[in-house]
């Protein structure tokens, strides 16, 4: 059972500094169980806590685990340079509580992106030692051939890698699309593997991480959702 003062509850959830949160509370902008609370030092049980700020309902979360359907032309960086950052697609308090992308998708790649403020979770999901499969659908510039699929399965040599990199699985979707499953997560891996196999990646979409499928989350591009415990278990290798 966790207990915090109300100003610390709001601060932990990214609503601002402790002083600013205390001012919100004193101004009557915070309510719990439909009762306005004006004492910022009131001790609150955080287990299952729901509260309202400016009439909007929030649930206390020690950490947040988020799935985002990333659109094209957004950067997976907290300091974006050429395109907007993916954090601009989330409520601003997530930035204040240090939510970060789990790994990266290129700015022009769409699909499933995990985000969290839980450091160990981010490390675990990013670690190549865990061998978490990721499923991508790549649109190719040239037609897909059986030889292309066979070469990606056998492994292609990239100039900065000591050994050939092979897809865990690969299949033809249609004349210009392949589904490819990878575990390594190397820099621009799908694009570079296609180039090494003599084709070119025209578009790339990440459809699945582990057993978590983007299609089953029912998210339009740019939309996000919290992940529950059952969904988080799907991320295990």
Known catalytic residues are 106
86/76 Cα distance (integer angstroms): 6
65/229 Cα distance (integer angstroms): 10
Burial letters 138-161, b for 16+ CB under 10 A, else e: bbbeeebeeebbebbeeebebeee
Size of the chain in residues? 237
Q: Note whether 2 and 9 are within 8 A (CB).
A: no
Pairing of strands 169-174, 65-70: unpaired
How far out from the chain centre does Cα 102 lie?
6
């Amino acid at each position: 059972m966790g207990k915090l003062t109300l100003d610390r509850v709001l601060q932990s959830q990214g609503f601002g500094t402790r002083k600013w949160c205390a001012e919100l509370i004193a101004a009557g902008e915070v309510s719990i169980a439909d009762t306005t609370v004006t004492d910022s030092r009131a001790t609150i049980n955080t287990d299952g806590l729901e509260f309202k700020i400016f009439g909007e309902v929030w649930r206390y979360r020690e950490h947040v685990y988020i799935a985002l359907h990333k659109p094209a032309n957004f950067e997976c960086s907290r300091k974006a340079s050429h395109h907007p950052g993916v954090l601009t697609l989330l409520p601003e308090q997530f930035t204040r509580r240090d939510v970060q992308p789990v790994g990266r998708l290129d700015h022009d790649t769409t699909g499933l992106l995990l985000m969290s403020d839980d450091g160990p979770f981010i490390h675990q999901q990013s670690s190549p030692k865990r061998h978490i499969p990721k499923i991508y659908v790549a649109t190719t510039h040239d037609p897909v051939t059986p030889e292309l699929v066979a070469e990606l399965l056998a492994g292609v040599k990239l100039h900065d890698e000591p050994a050939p990199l092979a897809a865990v699985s690969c299949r033809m979707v249609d004349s210009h699309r392949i589904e490819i499953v990878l575990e390594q997560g190397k820099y621009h891996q799908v694009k570079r593997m296609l180039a090494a196999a003599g084709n070119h990646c025209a578009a790339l979409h990440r459809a699945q991480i582990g057993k978590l499928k983007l299609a089953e989350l029912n998210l339009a591009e740019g939309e996000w959702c919290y992940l529950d415990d059952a969904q988080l278990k799907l991320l295990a290798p």
